[in-house]
Chain A
Amino acid sequence: MRTTKQEELSEPLPPLEAQRSRRRHVLDLDDFTREEIELVFETADAMKEVFQREIKKVPTLRGKTLVTMFYEASTRTRISFEQAAKSLSADVINISASGSSTEKGESLIDTVRTIQALGADVIVMRHYHAGAPYLIAQHVDVTVINGGDGCHAHPTQGLLDLYTMREHLGTVEGAKVVIVGDILHSRVARSNIWGLTKMGVEVVLCAPPTLIPVGLGPPAFPLVTMEPSLDRAVEGADVVMPLRLQKERQQRGLLPSIREYIQFYQLDLRRLSMAKPNALVLHPGPMNEGVEITAEVAHGAQSVIEEQVTNGVAVRMAILYLLMGGAQ
C-alpha cells in the first residue's frame, strides 16, 4: 500500500554502479553483447514496474534534458521516448525538421551543435538519411540514440521486439522468427536481425526478391535464411513479423500490384495456423491492415502488437537509465 508521492518517488531502482553501462551511444544493435542486451531487459523489467505504478515517475534523471530530433514523421517512437524520459523525470524538448534551422539551409552538424550548446544531454534522432546519427556522434559531444535512420537501423525497436518475444517465449534462443515484407527498406528488419541472431534466434526472411537487399544471409549474416514462399516460411515459426508495405513500392516498379502482394505475402489466419500453435504476431507499426496483415490477425489472440508499444516505453526507459543514470 503506497501512501505519499514522496515515498513513491524515492522507491529505489536497481543499484546504479553495478548496472551502469559503459555505453556512450545507441546507434545500432550490432555493438551490443548478449550480456548487454540481457542487462537492458532486466532493467526494462524494473522500469515496467515503475510504469505500472499509480504515479509513473521516478526522479532518476531529474535535471537531464533529452531532445528528440525527428526529421521524419513518427508517432509511436517519439512519444515513447518522451514518455520514457518523463517517467524518469528528465526534461524533454521535441524538435521536428520543419520549424528548425534545417529549413534555412543549416547543416545537420551545426544544428546539433547548437542544440548541444543549449544544454542537451541526450539526443534521440530520427532521420531519413542512413548514418545521420553516426555523423552526429562523430562530430558533436553529446550522447546519441538512434531513433531510426533511413534504411539502416532502429535499435530500440529491435530491443523492444526482442523483449516482447522474451516475455512470451521465456527464452528466445533457438526460436524461429519470420520477418515478412519489405526488408529492403526496413531498418526495423536490419536491427532485428542483429539483435535476434545475437541471441541465437533463427531468422527467416520472406519477401519478393525485389524487396530483399543483396548480401543478407551468410557469410556476412549467419543464421539468416531466405524463403520466398510465405506458406513455407511460417511452418513451425515461433514468431511472425510482417512489415508495413508502402504503396510507393509498387509505383517504383518493385511490385506488379498490391493485389498480388496480398495474395502471396499477406499474413492471414490460414497462414498463421501453419506456424506453431500460439506463435506470436509482432508488427513494428504503422500497420496497413488488409495489406501485409489482416485485421483478424492484427487484433487476434496471437497478436502482441499493443504490448510492443507498452514495452517500448519500458525498454527506452531502460536505455535512458543505462546511458544517463548515475552519470552525475
Chain B
Amino acid sequence: MAIPLLIVGGRIIDPSQGIDKVGDLLIAEGCIAWMGSNKAGELPPEQYQVIHAEGMIVCPGLVDLHCHLREPGFEEKETIATGTRAAARGGFTTVCCMANTNPPIDTRATVEFIQKKAAAEGVIRVLPIGCITKGRNGEEMVEMGELAEAGVVALSDDGNPVADARLMRYALEYSRSFDLVLIDHCEDVSLSQGGVMNEGWVSTRLGLRGIPAAAEEAMVARDIALADMTGGRVHIAHVSTAGSADLIRRAKDRGIPVTAEVTPHHLTMTEERVMGYGWDNEKPCSLPLLAYDTNAKVNPPLRTARDVEALIDALKEGVIDAIATDHAPHEDVEKMCEFDIAAFGISGLETALGSLLTLVHDGKVDLMTLISKLASEPAKIVRKSEIGTLRVGAAGDVAIFDSEAEWVVDPAAFASKGKNTPLGGCLLKGKVMATICQGEIVHKEDAVKLETISREAFRT
C-alpha cells in the first residue's frame, strides 16, 4: 500500500463545499481522507509522504469536458499517453475526450479501446465521449444505450454540428432514457462555410473569409428550442459570442435543460490576435510580419472584445457553467502554412490555468468561481459526483498551483505533441506545481518538496 499523501499548509479552495481556508489535506487509498489543520499527528497513518504547499492553492483536480486526444487515428497529433501528460501538467485529473477520432467513438469497441489505452498508458482519468451519429455523418443515431453502458459520459459530433434539426430532436428525445447529455458544436455551416476567422474588421483588413457570430447563434437558438421541446439535455460546446450567451441566459431563465462551456482562449483573446503577436490595439499600425498567425486560428474563431466581456459576465452569472479547453493539438506542418489551409485548433491543456488566472489577477473573476468552472461544475454536467470535489471519500484528485509564479510559455517544452499555441513566448502568472490523480503524483515541479515524515514528527 502506498504511503498516504499529506498536502500541508496550502490554501485549500473547494467550491463544492464552499471552502477557502489554509489547511492540510490527506489522501489515502486513492481518496480524499481528511481535511483540517495541525492534526496530522493524531490521524491513523504511521507515515506520510508530505507535499509542502505553503503559499500555494490546493483545489480539486481539474475536469476538462472537452479535449481532443486524437487516439485512435491521429497519433501523429496526440496520443492518450501524451495528451494525459499534458493534462496533468495543466492541473487536470479528468479529461473527457471527444469522439472525432478515426474510427470515431461510435461503438463499444472504440470506447473500450480508449479505456484500455488510458489505463495502460494514460496518467489521469479519461472519460470518453461518444458520437451522436454513426460515423459522425449526421445521418443515423448511434446506439446510445450500448455506448452508455460502455461508459461514455456524453455524446457529441464535435467538429461538426448536428445539422439536421429533426435528427437532433430525435437524439435529444432518445438520450433521455440514458440521461446522457448531448454536446453540440453549434455552427450553421451554410453561414460559416469557407470562413477562417471571425467576420469583422480584422477579417476585412486581412482579406480573410469571415465566420459571422450568427453562424453560432442560429444553431444555439435551434438547440435551445429543441431542448425545450424534448426535455433532453443539451450542452453548448465552446460558446464564443455575446449573442449565444444571451440566448443561453434566456433559456436558463425559462428552465430549459441547457448547459454551456467556454474555452480559456475565448475568455482571454480577441480576433486581433490573428494579426500577430505585437499588434497594439491602442496604436493601430501596419501589419507585423507575424500577421496571419495560424496558431490563433480556431473554430469557433476568436471574437471581439465585446464578446469576451460578455462571456466573462456570463461565466460569473452562471449562464456559462464550465470552462473546457477544447485542446486541439496539431502537427507543426498543419500550422506552418497559409492561413486559409491551416488546421483549426489550439493546444490548450498546459496553458489553460495560467491564462485564466489573468482574469483573476485583473479582478474580473474570483478564484472560487474560476475553480468551480474548472472542477465542480463540469463534473456535475457529466454526472460524476466523485470528482471535482475535495469532499472526504471523493477521488484523491488534487491540483496544486502557485497563482503568483511567473513563467514563459515554451511550446517546445509541452508534454503535448501539439505545439500549436498563440501563447508561445508569453509570460503567464500562475503555474501548476503538482497534480495528484487518485492519490498518485502525476505531475510535480522540481520546486515542490516531497518528503517522507513519520506521524511522530507532527506531534511535536
Q: Which residues of A contact B336 (CB under 8 A)?
A: 107, 109, 139
Q: Which residues of A contact B341 (CB under 8 A)?
A: 129
Q: Which residues of B contact A213 (CB under 8 A)?
A: 203-204
How near does chain B come to A36, taking the closest CB pair, in angstroms? 11
What residue of chain B has the Cβ atom nearest to residue A150's Cβ? B207
Chain B interface residue count, Cβ-Cβ cutoff 8 angstroms = 27
Q: Which residues of B contact A109 (CB under 8 A)?
A: 336-337
How near does chain B come to A71, taking the closest CB pair, in angstroms? 10
**In chain B, residues 15-29, which have Cβ atoms closer than 8 Å to a Cβ of chain A?**
none
Q: Does the CB pair B337–A108 fall under 8 Å?
A: yes
Q: Which residues of B contact A108 (CB under 8 A)?
A: 337-338
Q: Which residues of A contact B206 (CB under 8 A)?
A: 130-131, 152
Q: Which residues of B contact A214 (CB under 8 A)?
A: 199-201, 203-204, 210
Q: Does the CB pair A134–B292 fall under 8 Å?
A: yes
Query: In the complex, A30 Cα to B201 Cα: how many Å?
Result: 15
Chain A interface residue count, Cβ-Cβ cutoff 8 angstroms = 31
What residue of chain A has the Cβ atom nearest to residue B276's Cβ? A134
Query: In the complex, A135 Cα to B207 Cα: how many Å?
Result: 15
Query: In the complex, A151 Cα to B202 Cα: how many Å?
Result: 13
Q: Does the CB pair A216–B204 fall under 8 Å?
A: yes
Return the 6 tightest CB-CB contacts between A and B, nearest first: A215-B201, A152-B207, A31-B286, A131-B292, A151-B207, A129-B338
Q: Which residues of B contact A150 (CB under 8 A)?
A: 207-208, 340
Q: Is A153 an interface residue (CB 8 A)?
A: yes
Q: Does the CB pair B208–A134 fall under 8 Å?
A: no
Q: Does the CB pair B340–A129 fall under 8 Å?
A: yes
Q: Is A138 an interface residue (CB 8 A)?
A: yes
Q: Which residues of B contact A69 (CB under 8 A)?
A: none
State the B residues within 8 Å of A (CB).
Answer: 199-210, 284-287, 289-292, 333, 336-341
Query: In the complex, A220 Cα to B209 Cα: how many Å?
Result: 18
Query: In the complex, A187 Cα to B207 Cα: how many Å?
Result: 7
What residue of chain B has the Cβ atom nearest to residue A153's Cβ? B207
Q: Does the CB pair A30–B287 fall under 8 Å?
A: yes
- A135 CB contact (under 8 Å) in B205, B208, B337: B337
- Known A-B contacts A28-B286, A149-B207, A150-B207; the reply to A131 vs B291 at CB < 8 A is yes
Choose among A131, A216, A221 the residue with the greatest number of B CB atoms under 10 Å from its CB.
Answer: A131
State the A residues within 8 Å of B (CB).
Answer: 25, 27-28, 30-31, 107-109, 127, 129-132, 134-135, 137-139, 149-153, 187, 190, 213-216, 220-221
Can you list 15 A-B contacts with CB-CB less than 8 angstroms, sorted by A residue number?
A28-B286, A30-B287, A31-B286, A129-B340, A130-B292, A130-B339, A130-B340, A131-B208, A131-B292, A134-B287, A139-B336, A150-B340, A190-B204, A215-B202, A221-B201
Query: In the complex, A25 Cα to B291 Cα: how many Å?
Result: 14
Q: Which residues of B contact A135 (CB under 8 A)?
A: 292, 337-339
Q: Which residues of A contact B338 (CB under 8 A)?
A: 108, 127, 129, 131-132, 135
Q: Does the CB pair A134–B204 fall under 8 Å?
A: no
Query: In the complex, A151 Cα to B206 Cα: how many Å?
Result: 8
What residue of chain B has the Cβ atom nearest to residue A186's Cβ? B207
Query: In the complex, A172 Cα to B338 Cα: how many Å?
Result: 36
Q: Which residues of B contact A25 (CB under 8 A)?
A: 289
Query: In the complex, A135 Cα to B337 Cα: how many Å?
Result: 7
Q: Which residues of A contact B210 (CB under 8 A)?
A: 214
Query: In the complex, A151 Cα to B194 Cα: how many Å?
Result: 13
With A150-B208, A216-B201 already in contact, 4 other A-B pairs whose C-beta atoms are closer than 8 Å? A28-B286, A107-B336, A130-B292, A134-B287
What residue of chain A has the Cβ atom nearest to residue B205's Cβ? A220
Query: In the complex, A88 Cα to B66 Cα: how many Å?
Result: 58
Q: Does the CB pair B204–A215 fall under 8 Å?
A: yes
How near does chain B come to A44, taking the closest CB pair, in angstroms? 22
What residue of chain B has the Cβ atom nearest to residue A109's Cβ? B336
Query: In the complex, A221 Cα to B201 Cα: how many Å?
Result: 9
Query: In the complex, A139 Cα to B337 Cα: how many Å?
Result: 10
